[in-house]
A and B are shown apart, each in its own frame.
Chain A
Amino acid sequence: MHNQGGQYGSYQQRYSGSQSQTIKNPSTQVSKGTEMSDRDRLNDILSTEKYLTSSFNTFVLETSNKNLFNDVLHILNETHHAARDVFNLMFEKGWYTLKQEQPQQIAKEYQKFSGYESQFVGHNHNQHQNQFSTGQDYYPRDY
């Protein structure tokens, strides 16, 4: 669906303030006048897709008929991919800036939430060997 090739140019990575790394492409210039720019239009469509995904999520939860359920779930999924394509294009154009979290901060949270594993029923200390082995009952399927 999204085939813009792999030319993302060189990532602009610089340090700002503390040690947080900024990840972004060089910005594609758009006019800053009062009229809507291409960037504004893409942003507006992204808002539309976000609105549609929430609305279709509510819809799919309330469908009765199973065929309607399957179609609406599929539409929800495709709408998510449309939003993702728009996001990717905006990132490629340099209109989205990400800040990388500090590795120490991530490690700290990992420690904290690993500790909470003990709160699960049937918790065992070999959790890491089979942590993703359950859940098959809820794989996407046709009803």
Chain B
Amino acid sequence: MYQNQPSRGQRMTQPPRMLSTKDCAYLTDALSWELLAAKKAHTFAMQCSDVQVKNQLEQIGQLHQTHYDILLNHLNSGKSDQQYYGNQYNQ
């Protein structure tokens, strides 16, 4: 069993680098949502006759695939604490 208690007198201001059981459960749920969304967008894009609609659906399918990979990375042990997106809010 993992024990990660701070020594006496120290306090964690934020959770340490790890995944909670809840994080893990949400990640696997979210991966399924993204996979389905990507498949649906790609399938719909192939069925479309309107070029604008087709392009929009392809772009969205691509977005969900990117999101899938970002989420998957959080389950990859060793890399799971790495953030994909930069600290763009600090700029």
Interface residues of A (CB under 8 A from B): 1, 4, 28, 36, 38, 41-42, 44-45, 48-49, 51-52, 55-56, 59, 62-68, 70-72, 74-75, 78-79, 82, 85-86, 89, 92-93, 139-143
Contact A41 B48 (CB under 8 A): yes
Measured in the bound complex, the distance between the Cα atoms of B67 and A122 in whole Å is 44
Q: Which of B1-59 contact A (CB under 8 A)?
A: 14-15, 17-20, 22-23, 26-27, 29-30, 33-34, 37, 40-41, 44, 47-50, 52-53, 56-57, 59
Interface of A is mostly: helix
Contact B23 A68 (CB under 8 A): yes
4 closest residue pairs by CB, A with B: A67-B83, A41-B44, A142-B87, A64-B15
**Which residue of chain B has the shortest Cβ distance to A92 in the bound complex?**
B52
Contact status of A64 and B22, CB under 8 A, knowing A38-B53, A41-B44, A71-B74: yes
Measured in the bound complex, the distance between the Cα atoms of B81 and A66 in whole Å is 9
Measured in the bound complex, the distance between the Cα atoms of B74 and A95 in whole Å is 39
User: Is B90 located at the chain interface by the 8 A CB criterion?
Assistant: yes
Measured in the bound complex, the distance between the Cα atoms of B14 and A142 in whole Å is 13
Q: Please name 27 pairs of A and B residues whose Cβ atoms are closer than 8 Å in the assembled complex, sorted by A.
A: A28-B50, A38-B48, A41-B48, A41-B57, A48-B40, A48-B41, A51-B33, A52-B37, A55-B30, A65-B17, A65-B18, A66-B14, A66-B15, A68-B19, A68-B23, A70-B83, A70-B85, A74-B85, A75-B70, A79-B63, A82-B63, A86-B60, A93-B53, A140-B89, A142-B87, A142-B88, A142-B90
